[in-house]
C-alpha cells in the first residue's frame, strides 16, 4: 500500500457507533435566581408598607402650612426681631441647618462610614433640616423683606426650599416611598407577576376586573420613544389612578353578588374582599410605578443638575448677608 494511502487512513477519524458528543447545557444559577426572588419579595413588602406610612406626608404638609400661616398672621405684632433675642437665634439656627444639608451628599459618597450612621438616617436628617431650616429663617426675618442683601438671601432660600420639595417628590417616585430602597423595573415587573399569581385563583370570579388589570399591564409594557413615554405618563397614569378608586367599588359589588350565590358568611366575604382589595391596590401601584418610572428617573437626574447650583447660590448669598450684617 502506498504511503500516501496509509497517511490518509491514519488521519481519518474513528467513528464510534452509539456515542454522540454531549451538548453543553448552560448551567442554572440558583444563587442569582434566589437573589432575584428575594429582591422581589423585599420590594413587594416595601410597596405594601408604603400604605402604613401614608399619613406622614399629609401630617408634614399640615405642620408646614400651619407654621407658615401662623407666622405670617403674627407678623404685624413683631414678636421676633432679626437683630436680637430669639429672632437672632433663629437666624443662626436656620442658617446652620441649611449648611448641615451638605453633610448628606458627603455621607452618601463615603464608601467607608458605617460608624457615622446609615445613609437613610442621614437622609431623614437632611429632610428635617431642609424643611425646618427655611421655616426658622422665615421667623428670623419675621416674614418680611429687609435690606437688599437680606432680600436676595431670603429669595434664594425660598427657591432652594421649593426646589427641595420638588426633588423630594421625584425621589419618592423612584423609590419605595420616601425612605425606602431605590426601585428597579425588574423588581416592579416581579411584583406585578407576584400579585397576578396571588389573584389568579380569584380571576374567574372577577373576569372583567381581571381583563382590565391585564390590559393596563400590557399597555405599560409597550416599548415607546420619549414622546410616547410622556404621553403614556399622563394618559395611562390618569387611567390607573381612576381605576385605583373605581375598581375596589366594582370588586365589592361583584364579590357580594357571588357571596350570595355561594352562601358565604359575612366574615368570609369581608375577609376575601379585604385580601383582594389589598392585592389589586398593590398591582395597580406597581403598574403605575412601572408606567412612570423612566420619566421620573430622568426628571430626578435633571433636578440634580439644577438644584446644586441653586444651593451654591444660597450659600454665597447667605455668607454675604451675614458679613454685611456684622460689618456695617
Q: What is the pLDDT of residue 22?
A: 45
The candidate with the shortest Cα–Cα distance to 142, out of 84, 190, 206, is 84
Angstrom distance (rounded) from CA 194 to CA 205: 19
Enclosing H/E stretch for 263: none
Rounded to an integer, the average pLDDT of 43-59 is 62
60 versus 303: the higher-pLDDT residue is: 303
Contacts of residue 123, defined as CB under 8 A and 6 or more positions apart, other chains included, come to 104, 179
Asked if pLDDT for residue 52 goes beyond 60, the answer is no
Q: What is the pLDDT of residue 55?
A: 58
11 confidence band (pLDDT: 50, 70, 90)? very low
Q: What is the pLDDT of residues 210-223, one digit of tens each?
A: 888 889 888 888 88
The candidate with the shortest Cα–Cα distance to 190, out of 29, 42, 28, is 42
* Report for 82-91, 262-271, 272-281, 298-307: range of highest mean pLDDT: 298-307
Cβ-contact 212, 243 below 8 angstroms: yes
Q: Mean pLDDT in the chain?
A: 79
Asked if pLDDT for residue 74 goes beyond 70, the answer is yes
Q: What is the pLDDT of residues 145-170, one digit of tens each?
A: 877 888 888 899 889 988 988 998 89
Angstrom distance (rounded) from CA 14 to CA 81: 101
Q: What is the pLDDT of residue 16?
A: 44
The candidate with the shortest Cα–Cα distance to 247, out of 193, 199, 189, is 199
CA Rg value for the chain: 30
Angstrom distance (rounded) from CA 282 to CA 275: 11
Asked if pLDDT for residue 236 goes beyond 70, the answer is yes
Tell me the torsion sign for CA atoms 178, 183, 185, 189: negative
296 confidence band (pLDDT: 50, 70, 90)? very high
Q: What is the pLDDT of residue 13?
A: 45
108 versus 229: the higher-pLDDT residue is: 229
Predicted TM-score of the model (pTM): 0.74
Asked if pLDDT for residue 255 goes beyond 80, the answer is yes
User: In this structure, what C-alpha cell is assigned to residue 167?
Assistant: 426633588
Identify the burial level of 291 via C-beta atoms within 10 angstroms of its C-beta, where 0-12 means exposed, 13-18 middle and 19 or more buried. Answer: buried
Domain boundaries, the chain: 55-181+306-327, 185-301
CA–CA–CA angle 130, 179, 35 (5° rounding)? 150
Q: What is the pLDDT of residue 302?
A: 92
Q: How many CB atoms lie within 10 A of CB 166?
A: 14
Rounded to an integer, the average pLDDT of 177-191 is 77
First-to-last C-alpha distance (Å) of the chain: 116
Q: Tell me, what DSSP letter sits at residue 79?
A: -
Rounded to an integer, the average pLDDT of 45-64 is 67
Rounded to an integer, the average pLDDT of 13-39 is 45
Rounded to an integer, the average pLDDT of 195-208 is 81
Rounded to an integer, the average pLDDT of 218-240 is 87
28 confidence band (pLDDT: 50, 70, 90)? very low
Residue 164 backbone dihedrals phi, psi, to 5 degrees: -65, -40
Amino acid at each position: 500500500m502506498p504511503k500516501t494511502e496509509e497517511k490518509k487512513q491514519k488521519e481519518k477519524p474513528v467513528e464510534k457507533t452509539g456515542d454522540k458528543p454531549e451538548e453543553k447545557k448552560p448551567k442554572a444559577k440558583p444563587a442569582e435566581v434566589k437573589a432575584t426572588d428575594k429582591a422581589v419579595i423585599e420590594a413587594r413588602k416595601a410597596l405594601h408598607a408604603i400604605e402604613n406610612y401614608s399619613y406622614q406626608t399629609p401630617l408634614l404638609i399640615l405642620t408646614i402650612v400651619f407654621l407658615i400661616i401662623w407666622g405670617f398672621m403674627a407678623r404685624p405684632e413683631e414678636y421676633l426681631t432679626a437683630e436680637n433675642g430669639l429672632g437672632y437665634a433663629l437666624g443662626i439656627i436656620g442658617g446652620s441647618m441649611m449648611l448641615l444639608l451638605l453633610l448628606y451628599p458627603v455621607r452618601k459618597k463615603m464608601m467607608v462610614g458605617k460608624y457615622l450612621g446609615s445613609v437613610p438616617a442621614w437622609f431623614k436628617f437632611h429632610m428635617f433640616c431642609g424643611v425646618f431650616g427655611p421655616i426658622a429663617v422665615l421667623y428670623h426675618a419675621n416674614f418680611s423683606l429687609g435690606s437688599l442683601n437680606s432680600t436676595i438671601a431670603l429669595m434664594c432660600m425660598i427657591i432652594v426650599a421649593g426646589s427641595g420639595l420638588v426633588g423630594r417628590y421625584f425621589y419618592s417616585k423612584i423609590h419605595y416611598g420616601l425612605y425606602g430602597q431605590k426601585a428597579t423595573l425588574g423588581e416592579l415587573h416581579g411584583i406585578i407577576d407576584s400579585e397576578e399569581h396571588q389573584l389568579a385563583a380569584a380571576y374567574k370570579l372577577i373576569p372583567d376586573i381581571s381583563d382590565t388589570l391585564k390590559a393596563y399591564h400590557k399597555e405599560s409594557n409597550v416599548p415607546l420613544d420619549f414622546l410616547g413615554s410622556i404621553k403614556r405618563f399622563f394618559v395611562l397614569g390618569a387611567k390607573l389612578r381612576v381605576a385605583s378608586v373605581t375598581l375596589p367599588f366594582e370588586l365589592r359589588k361583584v364579590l357580594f353578588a357571588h357571596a350570595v350565590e355561594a352562601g358565604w358568611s359575612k366574615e368570609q366575604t369581608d375577609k376575601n374582599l379585604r385580601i383582594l382589595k389589598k392585592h389589586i391596590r398593590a398591582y395597580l401601584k406597581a403598574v403605575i410605578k412601572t408606567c412612570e418610572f423612566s420619566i421620573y428617573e430622568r426628571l430626578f437626574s435633571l433636578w440634580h443638575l439644577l438644584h446644586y447650583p441653586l444651593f451654591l447660590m444660597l450659600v454665597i448669598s447667605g455668607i454675604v448677608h451675614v458679613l454685611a450684617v456684622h460689618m456695617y
